[in-house]
Structure 1
Amino acid sequence: MMSQLSLTARQRYHALQTRVAQTYGVGSAREEFNVEPSLAQTLNDKITLSSAFLQRINVIGVSEIKGEKVMLGVNGTVTGRTDTDTKEREPRNVLGLDGKGYELHDTHSDVTLKFATIDAWAKFKDFAERYAAVRRQIALDRIMIGWHGVKVAPNTDRVAFPLLQDVNKGWLQIVREQAAQQLLVEGATKGKICIGIGGDYVNLDSLVFDVSLMIDEEFRDGGDLVAIIGRDLLAHDKGKLYAKQGHTPSEKQKVELAQVIDTYGGLPSYTCPHFPAKGVVVTSFDNLSIYFQDSSWRRYLLENPKRSRAEDYNSRNEGYVVEQLGKFAGIEAGNVEFVEPPPAEPEA
């Protein structure tokens, strides 16, 4: 038996459809429509604003599916002097043109809402705002793909790849393919990066410092590098501090007040949703980008009584970019292991 929306819920949902149509300047949102580039940027901005991390990086609308990178930084110095009595001044081309462009892929963010849920929400005045939670999930999906994406599958499989690994190639995969030397894969133990006394790195601080040295020298002193660190590494490091000092209440308080995740390897540290739990990446926020084709965003709101639900179809061409490969360094999180010191010998 097909379920129907209640009268109040239908009024709320139709009001939402009308509002969406008016926002995008189309006659109806009940058939697929193409979002104008300027309005696609507005929609994208709303998605970006729902995530603190996306607000720090670049999320940029571009006109072509393939092309040169947009946010190219300066690579090298520009200041000097020329004796113009003997030769002409020669300006330097210092843009980081590495010949590695970008490519966007068709990306779908399609969601459903059960009629029962719409009925429950219909009594709230902020119905449209509740529905806008979809934007938050699109933002989180973008971040997840950025850190875990390894391929572009014609048909994605959410069961086999729950971290959306098959939707697009994210930042780490781009570096694997285009600048493999910027990723630490193993330490002295083949296939492993061991952290702890007796391991490759005695602590997280020394690991982050070593990773920072993998950044090309011209980028190291720009003052904008940060260390993005996974939650398991942070928890392990903080746990060691508690084990050492947590038995003393005043010392435990100092650990909390110091916010021990502030600095590692001499760099301000940061973590974000869906970052690999044992991962480390050193880069600048503006070196990470998501490009979308501003003329490709399409949307379609549909009632489907056969499935007792409303459906919202979103599609656009999208891709990931590391603007300057030499300004990115990281580790293969899957190879990290914690090494605990051997137990102390019993006293004679």
Structure 2
Amino acid sequence: MTPQTKLALDQYFRTLGQLYGLSGPLEMNCKYNVAPSAQQKLESRLQESSDFMRRINNVPVNELMGEKLGLGIGSPIASTTDTTQHDRQPIDPSTMDQIGYICTKTDFDTLVRYEKLDMWAKFPDFQARLRDAILQRTALDVMTVGFNGVSRAANSDRTANPMLQDVNVGWLQKIRINAPQRVLNEVDDGSGEILVGSSATSQNGYKTLDAVVVDAVENMLDPWYREDTQLVAVVGRKLMHDKYFPLINSVQAPTERLAMDALVSQMRVGNLSAMRVPGFPPDAILITRLDNLSRYYQTGGRRRTIVDNPKRDQIENYESSNDAYVVEDHGGACLIENITLVA
């Protein structure tokens, strides 16, 4: 580590000390409970690093476990009452149910080699580079766990579970567990797949992706969500590739290319806006409002330790957060998976 790098790191630790409300710089090899105000700043930075993270709910909670907050409005509230015969019956408009949440610890541990720090130290935005490298990877991992997590292992294994399936229980798994009637994973019983293409029939699949989405909205969402203009379809990479690549890859006149650019930038499936999100399963479609998805994090539950490890020529950042992935209203979400495209 060069003297210039050491000076840059010292300034970085002073900045962290100010952020955490310390009287001096953050010290190496000390574990810090991040104060709620500093934690909120970190969470804001995390959300700023990802458009998707900004569009879902990132909610601080005081307890490790409890009832869902019921963000958003569930069923309709309008009614009529003959008050000469009956009392008016108010309802709670929030989407509370008996399914609670449990925040569990997730480690976000990273390292930076001395040689990389030496390269970064000459740039005036050294602190931002170091911070953003950690935040961007954290945001990607939060999304990956949210879409692929099926369980929480005492010791996760990234080799066996490269999509972080064993880090926490994510949104899609919550739908599978808590609302299996809102999951479509086969048409022909026992086939384990949904065929989509011109050769598919009503007994084994659908002719188009649009037909899949239209059918799911009509039959798997609560009635009051079906016309919601904020519904989106989060679509797997392979499916969007099949829908749009033949058009993009064809030779077109300039005016047609312009129209194609508009089509790709305004992708729609089954009359819903289509989204691609990092980490989403390539053969699946999730239909929901984005504000129906939440990540709860425990206030005061973020901890951080930075270690200078000269034996490995690296700076190690040990950071953890207690998180839960929550679907606020299962009636406003459905999952279509195991989609197989056929000719």
When the two structures are superposed, what TM-score results if normalisation uses the length of structure 2?
0.92
Choose 79-88 or 118-127, whichever is displaced more: 79-88
> How big is the shift at 1:248?
4.4
What amino acid is aligned across from residue 160 of structure 2 in structure 1? A
What amino acid is aligned across from residue 9 of structure 1 in structure 2? T
> Which residue of structure 2 aligns with residue 208 of structure 1?
213
Helix, strand or coil at the partner of 2:59: strand
Superposition RMSD on alpha carbons, in Å?
Answer: 1.8
Helix, strand or coil at the partner of 1:44: helix
- 1:317–1:273: structure 2 CA closer, same or farther, 3 Å change rule? same
Aligned residues: 332
> Which residue of structure 2 aligns with residue 136 of structure 1?
136
Per-residue CA shift, 1:254-300, capped at 9, x if unaligned? 33333275221121111111111121010000000111101111111
Map 1:104-115 to 2 at 5 A: 104-115=103-114
Structure 1: distance between partners of 2:228 and 2:263: 26
- 1:212–1:80: structure 2 CA closer, same or farther, 3 Å change rule? closer
Structure 1: distance between partners of 2:270 and 2:213: 5
> Which residue of structure 1 aligns with residue 280 of structure 2?
275
1:339 to 326, 329, 342: 342
What amino acid is aligned across from residue 277 of structure 1 in structure 2? P
Structure 1: distance between partners of 2:7 and 2:217: 56
Q: 2:69·2:96 contact (CA, 8 Å) conserved in 1?
A: no
> Which residue of structure 2 aligns with residue 165 of structure 1?
165
- 1:203–1:113: structure 2 CA closer, same or farther, 3 Å change rule? same
Q: 1:104·1:291 contact (CA, 8 Å) conserved in 2?
A: yes
> How big is the shift at 1:212?
1.6
Structure 1: distance between partners of 2:279 and 2:266: 17
Greater C-alpha radius of gyration: 1
- 1:196–1:6: structure 2 CA closer, same or farther, 3 Å change rule? same
> Which residue of structure 1 aligns with residue 154 of structure 2?
154
> Which residue of structure 1 aligns with residue 89 of structure 2?
90
Question: Do structure 1's residue 6 and structure 2's residue 2 form an aligned pair?
Answer: yes
> How big is the shift at 1:172?
0.7
Give runs of ≥4 in structure 1 deviating > 6 Å. Answer: none
> How big is the shift at 1:42?
1.2
> Which residue of structure 2 aligns with residue 225 of structure 1?
231
Map 1:1-348 to 2 at 5 A: 5-26=1-22, 27=24, 28-30=26-28, 31-132=30-131, 133-188=133-188, 190-199=191-200, 200-213=205-218, 214-241=220-247, 246-249=250-253, 250-259=255-264, 262-332=267-337, 335-340=338-343
Structure 1: distance between partners of 2:61 and 2:265: 40
Structure 1: distance between partners of 2:263 and 2:176: 35
Choose 247-256 or 215-224, whichever is displaced more: 247-256
When the two structures are superposed, what TM-score results if normalisation uses the length of structure 1?
0.90
Is there any run of 5+ residues in structure 2 with no aligned partner, and where? Answer: none
Helix, strand or coil at the partner of 2:58: strand
Identity, % of aligned positions: 36
Q: 2:145·2:164 contact (CA, 8 Å) conserved in 1?
A: yes
Helix, strand or coil at the partner of 2:206: coil
Q: 2:112·2:314 contact (CA, 8 Å) conserved in 1?
A: yes
> How big is the shift at 1:71?
3.7
